[in-house]
Structure 1
Amino acid sequence: MGCLNDYSFGDTMKIDYINGLKTDKIFGRSKYQWEIVKRYENVELNIIEYEHIANILKRKFNIKPSKSVAFKKENTKNNAYDYNKVFNFVVDMIKEIFERIDQYSYNWIIKKHVTNENVKHITSQEYAYLLKSIEMKNTILTCYDLIPWIYDRNRSKMWKNIIKGLKNADIIITISEFSKEELVKHLNYPEKQIKIVYPAVDHSIYCKNRDKRILSKLDIANDQKIVLYVGSETPRQNVPILIKAFSELKKRIPNVKLVKIGESQSSDGREKVLKLINDFNIQDDVIFAGYISEEDMPKWYNAADVLVYPCEYAGFGLPPLEAMACGTPVITSNTTSLPEVVGDAGIMINPQDIELMADMMYKVLTDSELSEELSKKGIERSKRFNWDNAAKLTQEVYNSFN
């Protein structure tokens, strides 16, 4: 989010905006902060970020990035992802070392650039460890979820420090009632010090505009039915369950493709998914699009006939909301925060029920009346979530320190 530095909104209130890793990619957490920040009024941000050491080394030694392969359908083949477990282990170890160096250097950057009298806003729980090692007054911390701690049972030193840091924040902003309940339950954090600021959609961009032309980027014919999944391949996302349900769907609807948008974030997850795809012989029907720009995301939602989001544990669930805003029917899990987002505007299922998932996909793709009903309900439901309100609520948190 290096481009955030272009924004400075007046001089009424100065905020030390502790934003972590600098990135130009807009998705998930970075989208949440970006959309809120650009709507602030009378707020001046002192943005404090760091650059990943890996990027510094690439620039220093003139290492060129490899060419993007996101839109090549053949990349779903097993030979395109010949994962080696030893290689992945080494890569993960190097990544962990780099992350520790980044954390150490970010501590010094923060100490150097924060201003004592300013309100400090740490924009992700990933950087809560700063509040364990640095004494800061007037602190707000945005905590999206506690997935590594609760779902993954991560008890590393890093996450123990994050939990301790979270407890030191003066106010925590979180993104759903469910996440608020988790903070109270697992951290014993005072409920009165937690503020909910829901994510949202820009309704001028994410709106119904059905058009399948963008499918040509993946060499998909316009007459194909499209099941869309947006997210990673980490275990909680249940992508293997989706693959199994999709293979059942293919037996009933031959002209259907599954398009998966988003980076893997898990080499083991990708390996399992690719094995399933080969086992079911659907290599030509499951297509990995990789990272998609913010500009193109509404086009993909509008090209899809249904979004399936089988996530088992979510702090909020932005893809279902964005899909609903575009009038795309949604099938999602009946767990954690997702009912809070989708309400009665989507189909809620047990994310482990393969047969039910396949049945619901078939029903949406073949019942035009149901599809249209879900489309209308989704659009109406999505109007409850808007970025102007999110920005207003966040500024109210800032003003509470005056």
Structure 2
Amino acid sequence: MLKILFKNRIDTDTMSGGDSIQMYNTKRELEKLGVKVDVTFSPQKSSRGYDIVHVFNIMRPFEATLAINEAKRNNVKIVFSSIYWDFSEYNSIGRDSKFHSLLSDNLSEFSVEKLKDIVRFYNGNINKLELFKYIVSDYKNTLSHVDLFLPNSIGEGELIRNKILSDARYSPIYNAVDADKFKLLSISKNRKGSILAARIDPRKNILSLVKAIKKYPLDIYGKVAENHQEYFKEIKENSSSLVSFKGFLDSSLLPEIYNKYIFHIMPSWLETPGLSQLEAAACGCNIITSNRGSTNEYFGNMATYCDPSSIESISDALHFALDNMKTPKEMSEFILDTYIWKNTAEQTLSAYKMILGD
């Protein structure tokens, strides 16, 4: 039996995100394929006895460095679900924090992450020598020891080659939805309006969206990020009476909510795409999304695209989508024929076998 050790950031279970959703769903489906999968949030946990260490999230470089070095010492193969994209445009234009923009304009992305890690870990229960060794190390050199990257798209894989390692080996592993939860329901016949389900922060570009959608109803579901309360205040000040803020919604209620709407709109500064867009589409929503990131690789001609830097482009995309709607059945079948976790696990298992020479 193939034995895999998943390693993710130490706060995975207290701060759930796309990486944890991907990790747990992949684990479940790999186990159905006969693979033994253990999960740890301790990057230095021994990998002895495992065939592969599978690391998640390239933008948590301290934990990733510890995990890679540990596997290397034990001569265990390393695969890396990178979950990576280029934030340079967002850092320069989209951020509401001048301090963050200043850092990003003057330091490399991984230098910024090192500063974050110093703040995050210095006073924690972490070996200070290991932290110092990481700070003075070259993260890109550390990443050169990865046997295979598992990006969520070909675009992401090419970005890794262009920005991090020119000779990086990669095999795309596509994100997915839970087909038992996200699907058409009987209520989907009575759809109206538009929804955005996402955490409220500048990366999602919600301020530009409410400026662009003045004449159309929009319901926004999501928690306001703690450090973006001023951004939320600005959003509300620029919203028409047709925009409604619904607050945080438990994920178990999302399938029913998605089935009530015609559109899911997310003009983010970048999307890989977000799981919420795949889930909304599986529930029959037409998709209006950013033309940044790998959205086109996933949706092709099944979505309408906009330029997140242009309010006019976002407005034009909505008008175009209104005239060129897909049926809920078309949207749902497109997603559930392609982007389900069973397929993700099969792609992942093929990648494992590739690096093990099976």
1:241 paired residue among 208, 215, 218: 208
1:266/1:195 CA distance change after superposition, 3 Å: farther
2:223 alignment counterpart:
263
1:251-290 mapped onto 2 (5 Å cutoff)? 256=217, 258-265=218-225, 267-268=227-228, 270-280=229-239, 282=241, 285-290=243-248
Report the counterpart of residue 71 of structure 2 in structure 1: 136
Q: In the superposition, relative to structure 1, how do residues 123 and 352 fare at CA in structure 2: closer, same or farther (>3 Å)? A: same
Normalization by structure 1: what TM-score? 0.67
Q: Is the Cα–Cα contact under 8 Å of residues 345 and 374 in structure 1 kept in the other structure? A: no
Give unpaired runs (5+ residues) of structure 2. Answer: 92-103, 116-134
Within a 5 Å distance, the mapping from 1:65-76 to structure 2 comes to: none
Change (3 A) 1:22 1:206: same
Mapped partners of 1:227, 1:200: distance in 2: 22
Q: 2:27 aligns with which of 17, 37, 43?
A: 37
The unaligned stretches of length 5 or more in structure 1 are: 1-11, 50-108, 214-221, 251-255
Rounded to whole Å, the distance in 1 between the matches of 2:21 and 2:303 is 23
SS at match of 1:39: helix
| Shift in Å, 1:308 | 0.5
CA distance 1:262–1:168, shift in 2 (3 Å): farther
Shift of 1:208: 1.7
| 2:183 alignment partner in structure 1 | 207
- How far has the Cα of 1:143 moved from its partner? 0.5
TM-score by length of 2: 0.75
Distance 1:128 1:116, change over 3 A: farther
Query: What is the Cα deviation at residue 304 of structure 1?
Result: 1.6
Query: Which residue number in structure 1 is paired with residue 343 of structure 2?
Result: 389
Write the deviation string for residues 106-165 of structure 1: whole angstroms up to 9, x where unpaired: xxx433443265421112224443453434231111101134578533332527865444
User: Equivalent of 1:346, from 285, 300, 303?
Assistant: 303
**Partners of 1:165 and 1:263 in 2: how far apart?**
36
Match of 2:43 in 1: 110
Q: In the alignment, what sits opposite 1:182? A: 159
Q: Deviations over 1:309-344 (max 9, x none)?
A: 101212333222222211111111222211111111
Do the aligned residues in 2 keep the contact of 1:346 with 1:374 (CA within 8 Å)? no
SS at match of 2:237: helix
Counterpart for residue 262 of structure 2: 305
The SS at the match of 1:156 is: helix
CA contact (8 A) 1:128 1:165 kept: no
Once the two structures are TM-superposed, the CA of residue 374 in structure 1 deviates from its matched residue by 4.9
Give the AA of the match of 1:187.
I
Q: 1:326 to 1:139 in 2, by over 3 A?
A: same
Cα separation, partners in 2 of 1:356 and 1:46, compared to 1, 3 Å: closer
Which residue is equivalent to 1:8?
none
Map Cα deviations across residues 223-252 of structure 1 (whole Å, 9 max, x no partner): 9x4321122334332111111112x224xx
What is the aligned-residue RMSD (CA, Å)? Answer: 3.0
1:14 aligns with 2:3: yes
Contact 1:210 1:303 in 2 (8 A): no
CA contact (8 A) 1:19 1:48 kept: yes
